[in-house]
Amino acid sequence: MAVDSKWLLEQFQEVFGSYLKDGLWISQAPGRVNLIGEHTDYSGGFVFPVAIGHNVAIVFKPRTDRVVRLYSCDYRQMSEFCLDEIHTSTDAPWSNFFRGVAWALGAYESPDRGSGESEDIDNTLSLGRNNRELRGLDAVISGDVPIGAGLSSSAAFEVASAFALLVAKGTDPIILNSFESECGLKVRREIAVACQKAENLFVGVSCGIMDQMTSCMGRAGHGIYLDCRSPRHEPVRLGLDDRDVTIVVYDTGIRRGLVSSEYNRRRQEVETGAKMIAGILGQSDIHSLRDVELATFEAVREMLPPEVARRCEHVVKENERVKNAVVALGRGDLLAFADLMRKSHESLRDLYEVSCPELDVAVKLACEIGGVLGARVTGAGFGGCTVNLVRNDALNDLILALPRSPLRPGALEPRAFAIDVVDGARIAEL
């Protein structure tokens, strides 16, 4: 699945007028599902996500001035701002992701935060050396990445927004669409960094770089082995078709807002743990849990507060699981990969405490089906989705076994769906 570009073009013409048929573009960026490596990205650790065939698409026409007019087909709302003065919107909070990307690409100082918080904006980005380079645009936006499900609808929106803004200011679309050239990869990496900064410093969610990098760097049929510190990445062939195995996502319909959830609290806990370990050992080169080996952690865990120790144990061991999972794929051992998925879920449930009863039940039901190789919670947790590796001959058994009625008051109707593993963001002229 993906947003129908023809339908979105019709929406553009309805909103902005049919006289604007010439000079139209469409930018599209996929969501992601993380196969293993959860809550490691903001500690500079390792993750292994895939880009999925659900995306956010933007049909737009560049303007000659600095005005940005956005229409969300999903929220049925217009939002307008000027690139000379970018503020967060309370009336159209969905637009803050686009606004934040424009702000980050232009290396603005956030008007809504203290001056110290925006000092780490990377002014070396070649994408927006001077904010006066950006130009306005008219755009309509729609997405079929489930919002709040842990499949990175926000990152998909951010990356699609960046592609639109860059083409509107004259960036060569051939470079933006390149996965092979060093220049193209460098630009995609810079886009991911700018989008992460937009979400961290403008929107106010302390996410890591995984979501944006996957939306930029995803490759069809491959997982992305990502070092979130560098951020270096390596496409790793999954080989699922060779083994008649499919990835199935189960959306529980339970939603949580990252800003108001305990997501930021978990990040603070692991950052505190890393600082405490560095202090205990007297090692100034420990900057995050990425720098802590398992044996080192085991030697100091009793000196940490119990809750902090549990959080740190998950991150340190999860990094090891990601590395072992990539090795398992290299030798074609999907059973070993799936066993690591199971251990990851247990750790997220018991140590990091970001699962919930409904997610645990979904994983348990999946693992009771013979053709399911592995299952785990994916995304930030507290609701959202599970990800499952299932043999094709057991696909219907899995879908029938998972609950199909709302799992708690206020929850959406749950659904299970197979996903395609696709390429990252792209842009085209209509």
**Those residues with Cβ within 8 angstroms of residue 344's Cβ, 6 or more apart along the chain or in another chain:** 36, 37, 38, 318, 321, 376
Catalytic residue positions, numbered: 211
Residue 275 pairs with which residues in a beta bridge? none
Residue 186 CA to residue 131 CA, distance in Å, equals: 20
Query: Contact, 162 vs 176, CB < 8 A?
Result: no
Return the HEC string of the chain.
Answer: CCCCHHHHHHHHHHHHCHHHCCCCEEEEEEEEEEEECCCCHHHCCEEEEEEEEEEEEEEEEECCCCEEEEEECCCCEEEEEECCECCCCCCCHHHHHHHHHHHHHCCCCCCCCCHHHHCCCCCCCCCCCCHHHCCCEEEEEEECCCCCCCCCHHHHHHHHHHHHHHHHCCCCHHHHCCCCCHHHHHHHHHHHHHHHHHHHHHHCCCCCCHHHHHHHHCCCCEEEEEECCCCEEEEEECCCHHHCEEEEEEECCCCCCCCCCCHHHHHHHHHHHHHHHHHHHCCCCCCCHHHCCHHHHHHHHHHCCHHHHHHHHHHHHHHHHHHHHHHHHHCCCHHHHHHHHHHHHHHHHHCCCCCCHHHHHHHHHHHCCCCEEEEEEECCCCCCEEEEEEEHHHHHHHHHHCCCCCCCCCCCCCEEEECCECCCCEEEEC
